[in-house]
Structure 1
Amino acid sequence: MNKAVIVREYARLTFAELAENTLDQAQISPSAFRWLVELGQQFRANGLALLELDNQQWLRLDNYVGVLESPCGQVIEILPKHRSSTNCIESARQLLCKLICNALDIKSRNTSHTSIERFDTSLPEWLMRQFLQELDTLFKRGLRFDYQRVEEQQRFLHGRLDVNKQLRQPPGREHLFNIQHDIFSADRAENRLLKTALSKVCTATQDSENWRLAHELQSLLHELPQSTDIQQDFRHWQESRLMAHYQAIKPWCEFVLNLHVPLAVQGDWRGLSLLFPMEKLFENYVAAELGKALAQTPGTDKELRTQLASRYLCTHLQQDMFQLKPDLSLSLGGLGQPTQRWILDTKWKLLDGVARDDKYGLSQQDFYQMFAYGHTYLKGHGTLVLIFPAWDKFPVYTKPLHFSFDPNLQLLALPFDLEDENSAKTLISLLQHGFKQSSTAAA
């Protein structure tokens, strides 16, 4: 198996000889290179951008993060680009795993098991470790058994005789009884899926601790069959109260069985792959943190809405055209204060807070978009907010970047610290209590 390659967003990959692999460029096997090129074509056919082919020897990744495993065994771990430093693998893994857990509403175990704060292993091994730990906990609580109806022919009576079948018994088989009876078995959809995922982990893991735990658990499931139809078995996964202790392991089982991978990856070969658009992970995390902070903010009239889609840019022949979908809408008021409303949009891009001549790295297209949001959702009066990730050149303590479309419509560009649990509270406080005009930049 080829050695795993660790890169980050927008890295360049090649099969040519390199002196040293870095987070921004790395060498992969020629077969993995060809597989990625084909995969990129499949993505483009589905309207997605996974990579761009620079020339016949280089390709550049886009903003997808996660893990890809090629049929030849080449593992490519793609981390977020959240810092300018090239020595940030551990913090990038920590950030990515936290964002993945948030996006899928998963709580990683951090009590008796390995904490999410520890990253002494690769992302695939971390993923398999979470699955194994949840499966170990499930075993301690007990697998769910169920009664299953069995219809068979036996030389003795057991259960209920199927009279209709018995009357149609052909000559020479009168000594066999057609019987029906129930058995109490663990052979149910949920357990078959767990057995299938566990078998995959036993084959894929390279970590000694994961290998030990996986084979230990496999010995407890040796009598269970594997799933022959994964999609069908997941549709039969029960969500009842009696199955509540199975809910924690379901997302990890889906991960291992590649159900959280874009459609283009799901072909004859899947390996152990998972991909997420970093823009979406950032948006989901900001929304979740703002929701938590808003619940702790004083006020009786407060609301956070995601993915608004009630306004259009224009009409044509009495029909709406070009739907406008801002990421977030935040309303806050009550307790003697008037209700205020802000339209927020998240952008996964590293701004330079002092590069005024370069417009701080802001996109003119984003400003056109926010201008449209302001006139459709705020009627041209209020404050719009662009939220960017905080980093070395755009830290949380920087002065907000303030822009004016006109005296009634303002826009703020604010940093959001993904490593600070109070970042959402700080952002809400800033919006609620305003900002000093003299401390901002104007455009």
Structure 2
Amino acid sequence: MAALVTVREYARLTTGAAAGSLDEAAVPVAVFDWLCAESERLRASGAALVQLEGRRWLRLDNYVGVIEAPCGTRIEILPKHVDGQDEQAVAAARNLLCKMLSRCLNLSPRESAATHLRTFDAPLTEWVMRQFLEGLDHLIKRGIRFDYRAVREQQRYLRGRLDVTRQLRQPPGREHLFQIEHDIFDCDRAENRLLRSALDRVCKLTGDPRNWRLSRELASYLAAVPVSADHATDFRDWREDRLMAHYRPLKPWCSVILGGHSPLAVAGAWRGLSLLFPMERVFERYVEACLRRQLPADTAVKPGASSRHLCRHRERDWFQLKPDFLLSRRDRSWVLDTKWKRLDVSRGMAGEKYGLAQSDFYQLFAYGRHYLDDRGELFLVYPKTVDFHAPLEEFVYSDSLRLRVLPFDLERDIVLGLDERLS
């Protein structure tokens, strides 16, 4: 059975002796060399996977998920938010990641219910495949969509409409063959082809007995559906109308499994299933989904505002300013930015500053100047931990512009102290 190595973000990997914890682990030499090669390949696109520390150590970046080496060794990378090294900490970090990814991928409440997540104890890849299989099982029980498809073919009998132009162009000796056009009512459509392709990949990759059994059962129902020859084209042709509403929950899972949606899916000559997500982006999207539930209906949440720039040069705008969220209610506005970092309120001395970064404060000051006209409140949101569990005292830029650093409770899915500031 393939080995599974479980670590956290920014963990160190080596081929020699290691502590065997979530922050330090040993991997085979072949896996170590493969990670180095993959990191070099991905570095050109700005998505470095690891950082080399000497000749015997690698430090992982801020990606979470699962990466599988050609030898079958799987490295599971969990969020750094959960403290501890025992199995309980591993389960808590894994459940947290699954919950956040579920919300980020816009899955239905049935698939992201808390009672379901608390019983999850398998690696992330098996969990992803399980969600896809359960959704596909539900879809097949409701019935897959059939549609009419135009067919042009040559037969010994007439069916449908005779294509006179093609018939007249036939060479001598083939007068007994008819060039015909007709419609077939079948299941060969873009959505079904993508489902069949994703199911075939799950059948090959799953090692979980329940997933293996369910995937083979579902494969018999989709046996008549051809596989997708062009994933990108079929995703573009995926219909979103009312008649296809029951297909909608499966589209994110198809995207992930087939490699079209994952922010970083390691692919190449090796076809193993590797799903890596940048934790900064996951946290940002998770906070967005929770903000829409937490805030009143009359508060608008605009992600990725980009209408302002830092300066002008030669009559052109330079350096676009893009806060994570711009909140507005009636005639008031606020800027909210997220950071996936750990703060420590005990490190409040002048030199440590709770672990806050000076560059983040410069960034928020620029947002306040250009989006709020130097008047109002800015919010900087970090995950809640045992070392940071309540809002910090306000930071004063000026008499009219202030910054609040707030914790985000990953258990209750709310930004602590935000409601009071917006009231």
* Alignment TM-score, normalising by the size of structure 2: 0.92
Number of residue pairs matched by the alignment: 419
Kindly indicate whether residue 117 of structure 2 is the aligned counterpart of residue 125 of structure 1.
no
Kindly indicate whether residue 417 of structure 2 is the aligned counterpart of residue 427 of structure 1.
yes
The answer to whether the 8 A contact 2:203-2:212 is kept is yes
Tell me the equivalent position of 2:321. 324
Q: 386, 392, 401: which is aligned to 2:386?
A: 392
Tell me the equivalent position of 1:405. 397
* Alpha-carbon distance between aligned partners in 1 of 2:154 and 2:123, rounded to the nearest angstrom: 52
Q: 362, 366, 375: which is aligned to 1:372?
A: 366
Tell me the equivalent position of 1:8. 8
* Alpha-carbon distance between aligned partners in 1 of 2:393 and 2:113, rounded to the nearest angstrom: 44
Quote the offset at 1:409 in angstroms. 2.5
Deviates more, 1:249-258 or 1:366-375: 366-375
The answer to whether the 8 A contact 1:109-1:130 is kept is no
Quote the offset at 1:17 in angstroms. 4.5
- Cα deviation 1:109-145 (Å, max 9, x = unaligned): 3499982332121110100000000110110111111
SS of 2:221's equivalent in the other structure is coil
* Alpha-carbon distance between aligned partners in 2 of 1:372 and 1:174, rounded to the nearest angstrom: 78
Kindly indicate whether residue 238 of structure 2 is the aligned counterpart of residue 245 of structure 1.
no
Q: 304, 307, 311: which is aligned to 2:308?
A: 311
Relative distance call for 1:165 and 1:374 in structure 2 (3 A) is: closer
* Alpha-carbon distance between aligned partners in 2 of 1:272 and 1:27, rounded to the nearest angstrom: 21
Report the residue type matching 1:254 in the other structure: S
Relative distance call for 1:156 and 1:309 in structure 2 (3 A) is: closer
Any gaps of 5 or more consecutive residues in structure 1? 334-338, 434-443
Relative distance call for 1:257 and 1:113 in structure 2 (3 A) is: farther
Tell me the equivalent position of 2:96. 95
Q: What is the correspondence of 1:20-419 to structure 2 with a 5 Å cutoff?
A: 21-87=20-86, 88-107=89-108, 109-110=110-111, 115-262=116-263, 265-295=266-296, 302-332=299-329, 339-357=331-349, 358-395=352-389, 398-419=390-411
Deviates more, 1:43-52 or 1:117-126: 43-52
Quote the offset at 1:53 in angstroms. 0.7
The answer to whether the 8 A contact 2:255-2:262 is kept is no
- Cα deviation 1:308-335 (Å, max 9, x = unaligned): 22222222233222222221222346xx
Deviates more, 1:27-36 or 1:201-210: 27-36
The answer to whether the 8 A contact 1:261-1:273 is kept is no
Any gaps of 5 or more consecutive residues in structure 2? none
* Alpha-carbon distance between aligned partners in 2 of 1:205 and 1:5, rounded to the nearest angstrom: 17
Quote the offset at 1:40 in angstroms. 1.6
Quote the offset at 1:15 in angstroms. 2.7
Relative distance call for 1:155 and 1:408 in structure 2 (3 A) is: closer
The answer to whether the 8 A contact 1:69-1:270 is kept is no
**CA RMSD across the alignment:** 2.3
